[in-house]
Amino acid sequence: MDDLLTTAEKIRSMEIRGAGRIAVAASAALRNYALTLGSLDIEEFNIKIEEAAKVLVNTRPTAVSLPNAVMLTKKHTSLTVPEAIDEIVASSDRFIKNATEALGKIGRIGAERIRDGDVILTHCNSHAALSIIKTAFDQGKRISVIATESRPRRQGFITIKELSDHGIPTTLIVDSAVRLTMKEVDLVVVGADSISVNGALINKIGTSQLALAAQEARKNVIVAAETYKFSPRTLLGEMVEIEDRSADEVIDPKLLKEMPNVKVKNPGFDVTPAEYIDLIITEVGAFPPAMAFAIIRDYLGIELDHH
């Protein structure tokens, strides 16, 4: 359990972050934990796996990739522990392999939408979005990127380092410069923490602001999202929970203490309605957001249960 708790803590503290990475880390942690439970009987085994699954899922509430990965990993139909372990190991290995391959496929499918000379605006740090951008660049398209800082955690710094290391000309802007800068932008490319059945995108706080400014300036918005980032529970009318993070990320707590009438709100994510999104690039193809139901039905299964 120690290793699993360490992974859970890394996800909570954002040492491991990004919807894809946390899903892969959680699946691997559950797999390795299952391997330590060989001496239990099947009832005890199932209880332990459920407990561990809860610990992982409760680390961060917004990215549906996390419960989807845990659910796909823990599901087994075996009546003996050795068989259950084999099933869990196989599911986890499959999930991690698919997730890794999905990034390459999203890159190739998404790059088709990028033209020579495009200026691409991106937000936060999304491995799926960057896969599209890097693939287009590797194909010889002379593109450049404008990356937002992404306050308060400044994941934009990870993005500009990654783009710079890849040789891609990149401009860093503060989040509030998005609307002014939009006239220089040809295309917005962002990642996803969750996509609901109605095609709405849940992603890093500020994404909906980019989408609004893009709509106003008639620029296209593309979302890069593996199929496991679609949320089956939104089929049941459930809302995606928006993570509220600590005020300490925004302001020095000592400063805040001196202002008893001030409180800080630090939502980690926001919701971009489907109308603002032109295309969602998944590993199985490019779809308009109206196809979200079909993706959930065909690739996740509408009977999915996270409990």
Ligand X SMILES: O=C(COP(=O)(O)O)[C@H](O)[C@H](O)COP(=O)(O)O
Applying CB under 6 A, the site for ligand X has a residue count of: 18
Q: Which 245-304 positions form the footprint of ligand X (CB under 6 A)?
A: 268
Name the residue nearer to ligand X (CB basis): 61 or 273: 61
The correct pick among 8, 19, 132, 277 for binding ligand X (CB under 6 A) is 19
Using alpha carbons, list the distances in angstroms from residue 58 to 1, 12, 37: 15, 9, 22
Q: Which 56-85 positions form the footprint of ligand X (CB under 6 A)?
A: 63
Binding mask 146-165 toward ligand X (x if CB under 6 A, else -) reads: ---------x----------
Name the residue nearer to ligand X (CB basis): 88 or 281: 281
Compute how many other C-beta atoms are within 10 angstroms of the C-beta atom of residue 6. Answer: 12
- Distance, CA of 126 to CA of 112 (rounded, Å): 18
Name the residue nearer to ligand X (CB basis): 126 or 282: 126
**Any idea of the CA torsion for 287, 284, 66, 276, to the nearest 10 degrees?**
-10
**Minimal distance in Å, beta carbon 152 to ligand X?**
10
- Assess contact for 70 and 27: CB atoms under 8 A: yes
The correct pick among 68, 126, 170, 272 for binding ligand X (CB under 6 A) is 126
Tell me which long-range contacts 2-11 makes (C-beta under 8 A, separation of at least 24).
3/29, 3/32, 3/33, 4/29, 4/30, 4/32, 4/33, 4/52, 4/55, 4/56, 5/55, 7/56, 8/55, 8/56, 8/59, 9/59, 11/56, 11/59, 11/60, 11/66
First CA to last CA distance, the chain: 20
**Residue 20 annotated in ligand binding:** yes
**Residue 60 annotated in ligand binding:** yes
The answer to the question of residue 124 lying near ligand X (CB under 6 A) is yes
Residue 118 annotated as catalytic: no
Residue 53 phi, psi dihedral angles, 5° rounding: -60, -40
Name the residue nearer to ligand X (CB basis): 17 or 31: 17
Tokens of 237: 């009318």
Residue 252 annotated as catalytic: no
Tokens of 164: 């710079």
Stretch that binds ligand X, among 166-174, 186-194, 246-254, 295-303 (CB under 6 A): 186-194
Beta bridge partners of 291: none
List 93, 116, 118, 124, catalytic entry: 124
**Residue 292 annotated in ligand binding:** no
The correct pick among 135, 203, 227, 231 for binding ligand X (CB under 6 A) is 203
The correct pick among 8, 20, 107, 233 for binding ligand X (CB under 6 A) is 20
E strands in 149-301: 170-173, 187-190, 194-195, 201-204, 220-224, 269-272, 279-282, 285-287
List 41, 86, 138, 193, catalytic entry: 193
The correct pick among 193, 206, 210, 272 for binding ligand X (CB under 6 A) is 193
- Tell me the binding residues: 17-20, 60, 203-204, 229
Binding site listing for substrate: 17-20, 60, 203-204, 229
Catalytic residues: 124, 193
Which residues of the chain form contacts with ligand X (CB under 6 A)? 17-21, 63, 124, 126-129, 155, 191-193, 203-204, 268
